[in-house]
Chain A
Amino acid sequence: MLERFRRDKKKGFIFLNKENSSFLNKVNQQLYSRNAELAVKNKNLSLLRNLYEITNSSLDKSTICSELTDAIRRSFNVELIGLFILEKEEGVLRLASLSLSERAKNVVKKQNNFLFSQDILLLDRKNVCYRSIKEERKVESSSLFNVWKPTGFSTELHNLHVSSNIKSAIIFPLINNHKTIGVLVISLNRSYKSFSKYERESIESVVNVITLALDKILLYEQLVTANRKLKELDTAKSEFISIASHQLRTPLTGIMGYLSMMVAGDFGKIEPTQLKILNDVYGASNRLIRIVNIFLNVSRIEAGRFYLDYKQVTFDSVVDEIIMELKPTASKKGIKLVIDPSIKSIGQVTVDPDKMKDVTLNLVDNAIKYSQSGTITVSAKKEGGNVHCFVHDEGVGIDPEEAKRLFSKFVRGTGIARVQPNGSGLGLFIAKKVVEEHTGKIWVESEGEGKGSTFQFTIPIKPTKEQIELQAKIASKVSKQKAQAAKDISPEMAASQ
Protein backbone atom coordinates (compact mmCIF):
# COMPACT_ATOMS: atom_id res chain seq x y z
CA MET A 1 0.00 0.00 0.00
CA LEU A 2 1.35 3.29 -1.00
CA GLU A 3 1.15 6.33 1.16
CA ARG A 4 1.02 9.41 -0.96
CA PHE A 5 1.76 13.01 -0.11
CA ARG A 6 1.67 15.50 -2.87
CA ARG A 7 4.37 18.07 -3.09
CA ASP A 8 2.46 21.24 -2.52
CA LYS A 9 4.55 24.23 -3.32
CA LYS A 10 2.69 26.27 -0.77
CA LYS A 11 2.85 23.75 2.11
CA GLY A 12 6.01 21.94 1.12
CA PHE A 13 4.99 18.28 1.69
CA ILE A 14 7.16 15.64 0.01
CA PHE A 15 6.14 12.48 -1.86
CA LEU A 16 7.06 9.37 0.21
CA ASN A 17 6.58 5.65 -0.12
CA LYS A 18 6.87 3.05 2.64
CA GLU A 19 10.46 2.06 1.78
CA ASN A 20 11.68 5.63 1.75
CA SER A 21 9.95 6.28 5.06
CA SER A 22 11.67 3.29 6.71
CA PHE A 23 15.02 4.42 5.30
CA LEU A 24 14.53 7.91 6.63
CA ASN A 25 13.63 6.52 10.07
CA LYS A 26 16.86 4.54 10.13
CA VAL A 27 18.82 7.62 9.11
CA ASN A 28 17.08 9.61 11.85
CA GLN A 29 17.95 7.03 14.47
CA GLN A 30 21.57 6.82 13.36
CA LEU A 31 21.88 10.60 13.43
CA TYR A 32 20.28 10.65 16.86
CA SER A 33 22.78 8.08 18.20
CA ARG A 34 25.72 10.08 16.84
CA ASN A 35 24.31 13.26 18.30
CA ALA A 36 23.77 11.59 21.65
CA GLU A 37 27.38 10.39 21.66
CA LEU A 38 28.62 13.87 20.81
CA ALA A 39 26.42 15.38 23.48
CA VAL A 40 27.95 13.09 26.12
CA LYS A 41 31.50 13.86 24.96
CA ASN A 42 30.70 17.54 24.86
CA LYS A 43 29.37 17.39 28.40
CA ASN A 44 32.51 15.62 29.53
CA LEU A 45 34.76 18.14 27.80
CA SER A 46 32.81 21.04 29.28
CA LEU A 47 33.26 19.57 32.73
CA LEU A 48 36.98 19.06 32.22
CA ARG A 49 37.37 22.60 30.93
CA ASN A 50 35.46 23.93 33.92
CA LEU A 51 37.70 21.95 36.27
CA TYR A 52 40.85 23.23 34.56
CA GLU A 53 39.59 26.80 34.81
CA ILE A 54 38.93 26.33 38.53
CA THR A 55 42.42 24.88 38.98
CA ASN A 56 44.02 27.86 37.24
CA SER A 57 41.86 30.54 38.84
CA SER A 58 43.48 30.49 42.25
CA LEU A 59 46.29 29.08 44.39
CA ASP A 60 44.20 28.95 47.56
CA LYS A 61 43.70 25.33 48.62
CA SER A 62 40.33 25.83 50.25
CA THR A 63 38.82 27.70 47.28
CA ILE A 64 40.07 25.29 44.62
CA CYS A 65 39.06 22.12 46.51
CA SER A 66 35.63 23.49 47.33
CA GLU A 67 34.91 24.61 43.75
CA LEU A 68 36.20 21.38 42.25
CA THR A 69 34.06 19.14 44.45
CA ASP A 70 30.96 21.30 43.87
CA ALA A 71 31.44 21.19 40.10
CA ILE A 72 31.83 17.40 40.07
CA ARG A 73 28.85 16.81 42.36
CA ARG A 74 26.57 18.98 40.21
CA SER A 75 27.74 17.38 37.00
CA PHE A 76 27.13 13.79 38.10
CA ASN A 77 24.14 14.47 40.41
CA VAL A 78 25.64 12.62 43.35
CA GLU A 79 24.89 13.03 47.04
CA LEU A 80 28.37 13.57 48.44
CA ILE A 81 31.87 14.29 47.21
CA GLY A 82 34.71 14.29 49.73
CA LEU A 83 38.29 15.27 48.88
CA PHE A 84 40.89 14.12 51.41
CA ILE A 85 44.64 14.76 51.61
CA LEU A 86 46.85 11.95 52.88
CA GLU A 87 49.10 12.77 55.83
CA LYS A 88 51.11 9.59 55.86
CA GLU A 89 53.13 10.20 59.01
CA GLU A 90 50.03 10.88 61.06
CA GLY A 91 48.10 8.04 59.41
CA VAL A 92 45.16 10.23 58.60
CA LEU A 93 43.23 11.47 55.58
CA ARG A 94 42.64 15.16 56.23
CA LEU A 95 39.38 16.56 54.86
CA ALA A 96 40.13 19.22 52.23
CA SER A 97 36.61 19.75 50.95
CA LEU A 98 33.12 18.27 51.23
CA SER A 99 30.32 18.92 48.74
CA LEU A 100 26.81 17.77 49.63
CA SER A 101 23.46 17.68 47.83
CA GLU A 102 20.77 19.92 49.32
CA ARG A 103 19.10 17.12 51.25
CA ALA A 104 22.40 15.76 52.55
CA LYS A 105 23.42 19.26 53.59
CA ASN A 106 20.15 19.72 55.53
CA VAL A 107 20.67 16.47 57.43
CA VAL A 108 24.29 17.24 58.25
CA LYS A 109 23.43 20.80 59.30
CA LYS A 110 20.81 19.50 61.76
CA GLN A 111 23.51 17.30 63.28
CA ASN A 112 25.96 20.10 64.05
CA ASN A 113 27.72 19.79 60.70
CA PHE A 114 29.46 16.71 62.08
CA LEU A 115 30.90 15.63 58.74
CA PHE A 116 32.82 18.87 58.17
CA SER A 117 35.32 18.06 60.90
CA GLN A 118 35.63 14.39 60.07
CA ASP A 119 39.11 13.38 59.01
CA ILE A 120 39.49 9.67 58.23
CA LEU A 121 41.77 7.71 60.57
CA LEU A 122 43.64 4.98 58.72
CA LEU A 123 43.67 2.59 61.66
CA ASP A 124 41.26 -0.08 60.53
CA ARG A 125 42.31 -2.31 57.64
CA LYS A 126 38.62 -2.77 56.82
CA ASN A 127 38.33 0.94 56.14
CA VAL A 128 37.73 1.22 52.39
CA CYS A 129 39.97 4.29 52.09
CA TYR A 130 42.79 2.36 53.69
CA ARG A 131 42.23 -0.45 51.17
CA SER A 132 42.03 1.94 48.25
CA ILE A 133 45.38 3.54 49.21
CA LYS A 134 47.04 0.22 49.97
CA GLU A 135 45.85 -1.49 46.78
CA GLU A 136 46.14 1.68 44.68
CA ARG A 137 42.77 1.13 43.03
CA LYS A 138 39.15 2.20 43.09
CA VAL A 139 37.16 0.50 45.88
CA GLU A 140 33.36 0.35 46.20
CA SER A 141 31.30 0.06 49.31
CA SER A 142 27.58 -0.02 50.00
CA SER A 143 27.98 2.16 53.06
CA LEU A 144 29.56 5.38 54.31
CA PHE A 145 30.30 3.63 57.60
CA ASN A 146 33.15 1.81 55.86
CA VAL A 147 34.55 5.15 54.69
CA TRP A 148 34.81 6.71 58.14
CA LYS A 149 35.48 3.48 60.06
CA PRO A 150 36.22 3.70 62.97
CA THR A 151 33.80 6.53 63.73
CA GLY A 152 32.04 7.97 66.73
CA PHE A 153 29.23 9.33 64.55
CA SER A 154 27.32 6.15 63.72
CA THR A 155 23.89 7.65 64.40
CA GLU A 156 24.60 10.74 62.33
CA LEU A 157 25.93 8.66 59.45
CA HIS A 158 22.89 6.41 59.61
CA ASN A 159 20.59 9.46 59.41
CA LEU A 160 22.53 10.71 56.41
CA HIS A 161 22.23 7.33 54.74
CA VAL A 162 18.47 7.21 55.17
CA SER A 163 17.59 10.78 54.26
CA SER A 164 19.87 10.92 51.21
CA ASN A 165 18.99 7.34 50.19
CA ILE A 166 22.67 6.51 49.98
CA LYS A 167 23.30 3.18 48.31
CA SER A 168 27.03 3.24 47.55
CA ALA A 169 30.35 4.95 48.08
CA ILE A 170 33.25 4.80 45.66
CA ILE A 171 36.76 5.66 46.75
CA PHE A 172 39.36 6.71 44.19
CA PRO A 173 43.00 6.97 45.26
CA LEU A 174 44.71 10.10 43.94
CA ILE A 175 48.11 8.96 42.72
CA ASN A 176 50.68 11.16 41.01
CA ASN A 177 54.18 9.98 40.07
CA HIS A 178 53.68 6.75 42.03
CA LYS A 179 52.85 8.73 45.16
CA THR A 180 49.40 8.68 46.78
CA ILE A 181 48.44 12.19 47.82
CA GLY A 182 44.82 11.65 48.82
CA VAL A 183 41.45 10.09 48.01
CA LEU A 184 38.23 11.18 46.36
CA VAL A 185 35.05 9.78 47.92
CA ILE A 186 31.85 9.79 45.85
CA SER A 187 28.61 8.75 47.48
CA LEU A 188 25.47 8.02 45.44
CA ASN A 189 21.82 7.10 45.77
CA ARG A 190 22.45 4.31 43.25
CA SER A 191 25.14 1.76 42.51
CA TYR A 192 28.23 2.70 40.52
CA LYS A 193 27.30 -0.08 38.10
CA SER A 194 24.24 1.94 37.05
CA PHE A 195 26.57 4.56 35.53
CA SER A 196 26.88 4.33 31.78
CA LYS A 197 30.23 3.51 30.20
CA TYR A 198 30.68 7.17 29.26
CA GLU A 199 29.89 8.38 32.75
CA ARG A 200 32.44 6.02 34.25
CA GLU A 201 35.09 7.16 31.75
CA SER A 202 34.21 10.72 32.58
CA ILE A 203 34.67 10.14 36.30
CA GLU A 204 38.06 8.49 35.69
CA SER A 205 39.27 11.53 33.75
CA VAL A 206 37.94 13.86 36.44
CA VAL A 207 39.92 11.92 39.06
CA ASN A 208 43.10 12.59 37.05
CA VAL A 209 42.37 16.32 36.92
CA ILE A 210 41.72 16.41 40.67
CA THR A 211 44.99 14.58 41.32
CA LEU A 212 47.01 17.09 39.31
CA ALA A 213 45.21 20.04 40.88
CA LEU A 214 45.80 18.74 44.40
CA ASP A 215 49.46 18.04 43.66
CA LYS A 216 49.91 21.60 42.43
CA ILE A 217 48.20 23.03 45.52
CA LEU A 218 50.35 20.96 47.89
CA LEU A 219 53.53 21.99 46.06
CA TYR A 220 52.53 25.64 46.27
CA GLU A 221 51.89 25.29 50.02
CA GLN A 222 55.33 23.77 50.51
CA LEU A 223 56.90 26.65 48.56
CA VAL A 224 55.04 29.25 50.62
CA THR A 225 56.17 27.60 53.87
CA ALA A 226 59.79 27.34 52.69
CA ASN A 227 59.73 30.96 51.52
CA ARG A 228 58.34 32.14 54.84
CA LYS A 229 61.03 30.24 56.77
CA LEU A 230 63.74 31.71 54.53
CA LYS A 231 62.41 35.23 55.13
CA GLU A 232 62.39 34.61 58.87
CA LEU A 233 65.96 33.35 58.72
CA ASP A 234 67.00 36.34 56.63
CA THR A 235 65.40 38.76 59.10
CA ALA A 236 67.03 36.98 62.03
CA LYS A 237 70.41 37.13 60.30
CA SER A 238 70.04 40.87 59.59
CA GLU A 239 69.03 41.54 63.17
CA PHE A 240 72.02 39.55 64.41
CA ILE A 241 74.44 41.47 62.17
CA SER A 242 72.96 44.75 63.32
CA ILE A 243 73.19 43.89 67.03
CA ALA A 244 76.67 42.36 66.72
CA SER A 245 77.96 45.35 64.76
CA HIS A 246 76.59 47.82 67.29
CA GLN A 247 78.13 45.81 70.13
CA LEU A 248 81.50 45.77 68.36
CA ARG A 249 81.53 49.42 67.34
CA THR A 250 81.07 50.88 70.78
CA PRO A 251 84.23 49.44 72.38
CA LEU A 252 86.17 50.05 69.16
CA THR A 253 85.23 53.72 69.23
CA GLY A 254 86.54 53.85 72.79
CA ILE A 255 89.81 52.19 71.78
CA MET A 256 90.35 54.62 68.90
CA GLY A 257 89.54 57.57 71.08
CA TYR A 258 92.20 56.66 73.64
CA LEU A 259 94.71 55.79 70.96
CA SER A 260 94.37 59.15 69.24
CA MET A 261 94.73 60.87 72.63
CA MET A 262 97.91 58.88 73.33
CA VAL A 263 99.32 59.70 69.89
CA ALA A 264 98.56 63.37 70.53
CA GLY A 265 100.55 63.17 73.76
CA ASP A 266 97.61 63.73 76.09
CA PHE A 267 99.01 61.12 78.47
CA GLY A 268 102.61 62.18 78.24
CA LYS A 269 105.44 62.06 75.71
CA ILE A 270 105.52 59.04 73.41
CA GLU A 271 108.82 57.61 72.17
CA PRO A 272 109.21 57.37 68.38
CA THR A 273 109.26 53.56 68.50
CA GLN A 274 106.11 53.60 70.62
CA LEU A 275 104.50 56.13 68.25
CA LYS A 276 105.01 53.84 65.28
CA ILE A 277 103.33 50.97 67.11
CA LEU A 278 100.46 53.18 68.26
CA ASN A 279 99.91 54.42 64.72
CA ASP A 280 99.81 50.84 63.44
CA VAL A 281 97.30 49.89 66.13
CA TYR A 282 95.24 53.00 65.31
CA GLY A 283 95.27 52.07 61.59
CA ALA A 284 94.17 48.50 62.36
CA SER A 285 91.35 49.73 64.62
CA ASN A 286 90.27 52.11 61.88
CA ARG A 287 90.10 49.26 59.41
CA LEU A 288 88.14 47.20 61.89
CA ILE A 289 85.63 50.01 62.41
CA ARG A 290 85.28 50.36 58.68
CA ILE A 291 84.41 46.65 58.40
CA VAL A 292 81.88 46.95 61.22
CA ASN A 293 80.33 49.96 59.47
CA ILE A 294 80.07 47.92 56.28
CA PHE A 295 78.12 45.24 58.16
CA LEU A 296 75.92 47.87 59.73
CA ASN A 297 75.21 49.42 56.36
CA VAL A 298 74.27 46.04 54.91
CA SER A 299 71.86 45.37 57.76
CA ARG A 300 70.35 48.86 57.31
CA ILE A 301 69.91 48.24 53.59
CA GLU A 302 68.17 44.91 54.21
CA ALA A 303 65.94 46.34 56.92
CA GLY A 304 64.86 49.25 54.72
CA ARG A 305 66.54 51.77 57.07
CA PHE A 306 68.99 53.05 54.45
CA TYR A 307 68.41 56.61 53.26
CA LEU A 308 70.30 59.55 51.76
CA ASP A 309 70.99 62.85 53.48
CA TYR A 310 71.25 65.23 50.51
CA LYS A 311 73.63 68.19 50.71
CA GLN A 312 75.07 70.54 48.11
CA VAL A 313 78.84 70.08 47.86
CA THR A 314 81.56 70.32 45.22
CA PHE A 315 82.27 67.00 43.52
CA ASP A 316 86.00 67.31 44.09
CA SER A 317 85.41 67.61 47.86
CA VAL A 318 83.88 64.10 47.71
CA VAL A 319 86.97 62.71 45.97
CA ASP A 320 89.89 64.77 47.33
CA GLU A 321 89.58 63.73 50.96
CA ILE A 322 89.62 60.05 50.03
CA ILE A 323 92.62 60.40 47.75
CA MET A 324 94.55 62.22 50.49
CA GLU A 325 93.69 59.44 52.95
CA LEU A 326 94.73 56.64 50.59
CA LYS A 327 97.84 58.21 49.00
CA PRO A 328 100.23 56.89 51.70
CA THR A 329 98.89 53.35 51.26
CA ALA A 330 99.27 53.57 47.48
CA SER A 331 102.81 55.02 47.77
CA LYS A 332 103.91 52.17 50.04
CA LYS A 333 103.04 49.75 47.20
CA GLY A 334 104.76 51.95 44.59
CA ILE A 335 101.42 52.84 43.01
CA LYS A 336 100.79 56.34 41.68
CA LEU A 337 97.39 57.78 42.66
CA VAL A 338 96.28 60.59 40.34
CA ILE A 339 93.28 62.95 40.45
CA ASP A 340 92.50 64.08 36.94
CA PRO A 341 91.77 67.83 36.59
CA SER A 342 88.34 66.89 35.17
CA ILE A 343 87.23 66.19 38.76
CA LYS A 344 87.43 69.89 39.63
CA SER A 345 85.50 70.91 36.52
CA ILE A 346 82.32 69.13 37.71
CA GLY A 347 81.49 71.80 40.28
CA GLN A 348 78.47 71.66 42.58
CA VAL A 349 76.49 68.44 43.03
CA THR A 350 73.62 67.53 45.37
CA VAL A 351 74.39 64.14 46.92
CA ASP A 352 74.78 62.43 50.28
CA PRO A 353 78.46 63.38 50.63
CA ASP A 354 79.32 60.86 53.37
CA LYS A 355 77.91 57.95 51.44
CA MET A 356 79.46 59.06 48.12
CA LYS A 357 82.82 59.34 49.94
CA ASP A 358 82.33 55.72 51.00
CA VAL A 359 81.73 54.75 47.37
CA THR A 360 84.87 56.55 46.17
CA LEU A 361 86.83 55.13 49.09
CA ASN A 362 85.73 51.62 48.24
CA LEU A 363 86.58 51.91 44.54
CA VAL A 364 89.96 53.54 45.05
CA ASP A 365 90.84 51.26 47.98
CA ASN A 366 89.99 48.22 45.83
CA ALA A 367 92.08 49.61 42.98
CA ILE A 368 95.08 49.91 45.35
CA LYS A 369 94.52 46.46 46.85
CA TYR A 370 94.29 44.73 43.48
CA SER A 371 97.22 46.52 41.81
CA GLN A 372 100.83 45.67 42.35
CA SER A 373 102.18 48.62 40.39
CA GLY A 374 101.21 51.26 37.89
CA THR A 375 98.86 54.24 38.15
CA ILE A 376 95.35 54.64 39.48
CA THR A 377 93.49 57.54 37.89
CA VAL A 378 90.28 59.07 39.17
CA SER A 379 88.48 61.23 36.59
CA ALA A 380 84.98 62.47 35.80
CA LYS A 381 82.93 64.25 33.17
CA LYS A 382 79.49 65.77 32.84
CA GLU A 383 76.99 63.91 30.67
CA GLY A 384 73.75 65.83 30.37
CA GLY A 385 72.38 66.12 33.88
CA ASN A 386 74.73 63.43 35.24
CA VAL A 387 78.25 63.08 36.57
CA HIS A 388 80.15 60.13 35.10
CA CYS A 389 83.07 59.12 37.32
CA PHE A 390 85.92 56.71 36.40
CA VAL A 391 88.39 54.85 38.64
CA HIS A 392 90.95 53.22 36.38
CA ASP A 393 93.71 50.88 37.58
CA GLU A 394 96.42 48.77 35.96
CA GLY A 395 95.95 45.87 38.33
CA VAL A 396 94.84 42.21 38.19
CA GLY A 397 91.80 42.86 36.00
CA ILE A 398 88.49 41.00 36.09
CA ASP A 399 87.06 38.18 34.01
CA PRO A 400 84.05 39.65 32.12
CA GLU A 401 81.77 36.84 33.37
CA GLU A 402 82.74 37.54 36.98
CA ALA A 403 82.24 41.28 36.42
CA LYS A 404 78.48 40.70 36.16
CA ARG A 405 78.31 39.22 39.68
CA LEU A 406 80.81 41.48 41.41
CA PHE A 407 78.23 43.84 42.91
CA SER A 408 76.34 41.03 44.67
CA LYS A 409 76.77 40.25 48.34
CA PHE A 410 79.81 38.20 49.40
CA VAL A 411 81.12 37.91 45.85
CA ARG A 412 84.79 38.48 45.09
CA GLY A 413 86.54 37.79 41.82
CA THR A 414 88.74 34.67 41.82
CA GLY A 415 91.75 36.62 40.60
CA ILE A 416 91.11 39.23 43.25
CA ALA A 417 90.84 36.62 45.99
CA ARG A 418 94.27 35.29 45.03
CA VAL A 419 95.95 38.71 45.41
CA GLN A 420 94.00 39.83 48.44
CA PRO A 421 92.46 36.90 50.28
CA ASN A 422 91.00 39.13 53.01
CA GLY A 423 87.86 41.00 52.13
CA SER A 424 84.20 41.00 53.10
CA GLY A 425 82.76 40.93 49.57
CA LEU A 426 80.31 43.62 50.69
CA GLY A 427 81.97 46.90 49.69
CA LEU A 428 80.79 46.86 46.10
CA PHE A 429 77.33 45.69 47.18
CA ILE A 430 77.01 48.79 49.35
CA ALA A 431 78.55 51.03 46.69
CA LYS A 432 75.92 49.81 44.22
CA LYS A 433 73.16 50.47 46.73
CA VAL A 434 74.37 54.01 47.40
CA VAL A 435 74.68 54.83 43.69
CA GLU A 436 71.27 53.30 42.92
CA GLU A 437 69.66 55.23 45.78
CA HIS A 438 70.98 58.31 44.03
CA THR A 439 69.13 56.90 40.95
CA GLY A 440 72.50 56.26 39.33
CA LYS A 441 74.29 53.29 37.83
CA ILE A 442 77.58 51.54 38.67
CA TRP A 443 79.53 48.99 36.66
CA VAL A 444 83.02 47.74 35.78
CA GLU A 445 84.81 47.21 32.51
CA SER A 446 87.88 45.07 32.13
CA GLU A 447 89.52 43.30 29.23
CA GLY A 448 90.30 40.34 31.45
CA GLU A 449 92.76 39.06 33.98
CA GLY A 450 96.03 41.01 34.18
CA LYS A 451 94.64 43.86 32.07
CA GLY A 452 93.45 46.31 34.70
CA SER A 453 89.91 47.54 35.19
CA THR A 454 87.81 50.69 35.13
CA PHE A 455 85.07 51.04 37.72
CA GLN A 456 82.52 53.64 36.66
CA PHE A 457 79.40 55.20 38.08
CA THR A 458 76.94 57.85 36.98
CA ILE A 459 74.75 59.91 39.33
CA PRO A 460 72.49 62.90 38.73
CA ILE A 461 74.13 66.25 39.43
CA LYS A 462 70.90 67.24 41.15
CA PRO A 463 68.14 64.87 42.34
CA THR A 464 64.50 65.41 41.38
CA LYS A 465 62.06 66.90 43.87
CA GLU A 466 60.33 63.50 44.18
CA GLN A 467 63.62 61.81 44.96
CA ILE A 468 64.39 64.30 47.74
CA GLU A 469 60.90 63.83 49.21
CA LEU A 470 61.23 60.05 49.09
CA GLN A 471 64.52 60.05 50.98
CA ALA A 472 63.11 62.47 53.53
CA LYS A 473 60.17 60.12 54.06
CA ILE A 474 62.46 57.12 54.66
CA ALA A 475 64.58 59.20 57.06
CA SER A 476 61.50 60.19 59.00
CA LYS A 477 60.30 56.58 59.19
CA VAL A 478 63.70 55.38 60.43
CA SER A 479 63.78 58.14 63.00
CA LYS A 480 60.37 57.11 64.36
CA GLN A 481 61.44 53.45 64.47
CA LYS A 482 64.57 54.42 66.42
CA ALA A 483 62.51 56.47 68.87
CA GLN A 484 60.14 53.54 69.36
CA ALA A 485 63.05 51.11 69.78
CA ALA A 486 64.64 53.45 72.34
CA LYS A 487 61.43 53.33 74.42
CA ASP A 488 61.42 49.52 74.26
CA ILE A 489 65.04 48.69 75.19
CA SER A 490 66.62 48.48 78.66
CA PRO A 491 68.92 51.26 79.93
CA GLU A 492 71.95 48.88 79.71
CA MET A 493 71.37 48.17 76.06
CA ALA A 494 70.76 51.87 75.39
CA ALA A 495 74.15 52.69 76.95
CA SER A 496 75.95 50.05 74.85
CA GLN A 497 74.41 51.46 71.63
Chain B
Amino acid sequence: MDLFTTITVRIIKEQEIIIGPIALQEARKVKGLKIDTGSWKVSFIGDKKNIINDLVKQYSRLFGRASEDVCREAVRDLISDLPNQDIPTTLR
Protein backbone atom coordinates (compact mmCIF):
# COMPACT_ATOMS: atom_id res chain seq x y z
CA MET B 1 0.00 0.00 0.00
CA ASP B 2 1.58 3.33 -1.01
CA LEU B 3 1.67 6.28 1.36
CA PHE B 4 -1.18 8.22 -0.28
CA THR B 5 -3.42 5.18 -0.08
CA THR B 6 -2.53 4.74 3.61
CA ILE B 7 -3.26 8.44 4.22
CA THR B 8 -6.66 8.20 2.51
CA VAL B 9 -7.71 5.06 4.38
CA ARG B 10 -6.57 6.52 7.71
CA ILE B 11 -8.56 9.74 7.15
CA ILE B 12 -11.75 7.90 6.26
CA LYS B 13 -11.39 5.50 9.22
CA GLU B 14 -10.76 8.35 11.62
CA GLN B 15 -13.82 10.19 10.34
CA GLU B 16 -15.80 6.97 10.64
CA ILE B 17 -15.06 6.87 14.40
CA ILE B 18 -16.62 10.33 14.76
CA ILE B 19 -19.46 10.43 12.25
CA GLY B 20 -20.07 6.77 11.51
CA PRO B 21 -21.05 5.37 8.08
CA ILE B 22 -21.50 8.92 6.66
CA ALA B 23 -17.70 9.07 6.45
CA LEU B 24 -17.63 6.44 3.74
CA GLN B 25 -20.69 7.87 1.98
CA GLU B 26 -19.03 11.28 1.76
CA ALA B 27 -15.70 9.77 0.65
CA ARG B 28 -17.48 8.04 -2.24
CA LYS B 29 -18.68 11.43 -3.48
CA VAL B 30 -15.08 12.62 -4.05
CA LYS B 31 -14.27 12.67 -7.74
CA GLY B 32 -11.43 10.35 -8.72
CA LEU B 33 -11.57 8.29 -5.53
CA LYS B 34 -12.71 4.66 -5.69
CA ILE B 35 -13.13 2.66 -2.49
CA ASP B 36 -13.79 -1.03 -2.05
CA THR B 37 -15.09 -1.27 1.52
CA GLY B 38 -14.78 -5.02 1.73
CA SER B 39 -11.02 -4.95 1.36
CA TRP B 40 -10.47 -1.23 2.01
CA LYS B 41 -8.84 -1.08 -1.39
CA VAL B 42 -8.49 2.50 -2.57
CA SER B 43 -7.69 3.60 -6.11
CA PHE B 44 -7.13 7.05 -7.55
CA ILE B 45 -8.07 8.35 -10.94
CA GLY B 46 -6.09 11.52 -11.27
CA ASP B 47 -3.64 13.46 -9.08
CA LYS B 48 -3.52 11.77 -5.67
CA LYS B 49 -2.57 14.95 -3.82
CA ASN B 50 -5.57 16.82 -5.24
CA ILE B 51 -7.93 13.93 -4.58
CA ILE B 52 -6.87 13.87 -0.92
CA ASN B 53 -7.39 17.64 -0.73
CA ASP B 54 -10.90 17.14 -2.14
CA LEU B 55 -11.59 14.43 0.42
CA VAL B 56 -10.62 16.72 3.30
CA LYS B 57 -12.72 19.53 1.84
CA GLN B 58 -15.68 17.16 1.49
CA TYR B 59 -15.72 16.68 5.24
CA SER B 60 -14.90 20.30 5.92
CA ARG B 61 -17.94 21.42 3.93
CA LEU B 62 -20.22 19.53 6.28
CA PHE B 63 -18.39 19.74 9.57
CA GLY B 64 -16.10 22.75 9.41
CA ARG B 65 -12.53 23.36 10.66
CA ALA B 66 -12.74 20.67 13.30
CA SER B 67 -12.92 17.95 10.64
CA GLU B 68 -9.81 19.36 8.91
CA ASP B 69 -7.94 19.17 12.23
CA VAL B 70 -9.07 15.57 12.66
CA CYS B 71 -7.79 14.67 9.17
CA ARG B 72 -4.48 16.38 9.84
CA GLU B 73 -3.88 14.76 13.22
CA ALA B 74 -4.87 11.34 11.94
CA VAL B 75 -2.03 11.29 9.42
CA ARG B 76 0.59 13.48 11.10
CA ASP B 77 3.10 10.62 11.39
CA LEU B 78 2.60 9.70 7.73
CA ILE B 79 2.89 13.28 6.50
CA SER B 80 6.21 13.65 8.33
CA ASP B 81 7.73 11.18 5.89
CA LEU B 82 6.62 13.09 2.78
CA PRO B 83 8.76 15.77 1.11
CA ASN B 84 7.12 19.18 1.59
CA GLN B 85 6.04 19.53 -2.04
CA ASP B 86 4.17 16.22 -1.88
CA ILE B 87 2.08 17.10 1.17
CA PRO B 88 -1.54 17.94 0.28
CA THR B 89 -2.18 21.59 1.20
CA THR B 90 -5.13 20.75 3.43
CA LEU B 91 -2.91 18.53 5.58
CA ARG B 92 -0.08 21.00 6.16
Contact = CB atoms under 8 A, between A and B. Distances in A.
B89 to A, nearest CB: 17
A302 to B, nearest CB: 60
B66 A36 contact: yes
Interface in A1-57: 25, 28-29, 32-33, 35-36, 39, 43
Given A167-B80, A189-B81, A190-B80, A32 B19 contact: yes
B92 to A, nearest CB: 12
B73 A28 contact: no
B18 A35 contact: yes
B73 A190 contact: no
B66 A32 contact: yes
A43 B81 CA distance: 24
B63 interface: yes
Contacts of A33: 64, 66
A39 B18 CA distance: 6
B76 interface: yes
Interface string A158-202: 000000010100000000000000000000111000101001000
Interface string A51-90: 0000000000000000000000000011000000000000
Nearest to B81: A165
B70 interface: yes
A267 to B, nearest CB: 100
Given A32-B18, A32-B19, A39-B17, A77 B63 contact: no
A32 B76 contact: no
A78 B77 contact: yes
Given A36-B18, A39-B18, A194-B76, A29 B81 contact: no
Contacts of A78: 77
* Interface of A (DSSP majority class): helix
Nearest to B78: A77
A29 B64 contact: yes
Nearest to A31: B63
Q: Could you say which interface size class chain B belongs to?
A: 10 to 19
Interface string B16-50: 01110000000000000000000000000000000
A32 B63 CA distance: 6
A189 B80 contact: yes
B67 interface: yes
A279 to B, nearest CB: 95
Contact of B77 (A36, A43, A77): A77
Most A C-beta atoms less than 10 A away, residue of B64, B67, B73, B77: B77
A32 B80 contact: no
B62 A28 contact: yes
Interface string A227-246: 00000000000000000000
A190 B92 CA distance: 13
Contacts of A28: 62-64
A36 B14 CA distance: 9
A189 B70 contact: no
Q: Which of B18, B62, B73 has the most CB of A within 10 A?
A: B18
16 contacts: A25-B64, A28-B62, A28-B63, A32-B18, A32-B19, A32-B62, A32-B64, A32-B66, A32-B67, A33-B64, A36-B69, A165-B81, A188-B77, A190-B76, A194-B76, A199-B73
Interface of A: 25, 28-29, 32-33, 35-36, 39, 43, 77-78, 165, 167, 188-190, 194, 196, 199
Given A32-B66, A77-B77, A194-B80, 9 more contacts: A28-B62, A29-B66, A32-B19, A32-B64, A33-B64, A36-B67, A36-B69, A189-B80, A196-B69
Minimum-distance CB pairs A-B, first 8: A29-B64, A32-B63, A190-B80, A77-B77, A33-B66, A189-B80, A35-B18, A39-B17
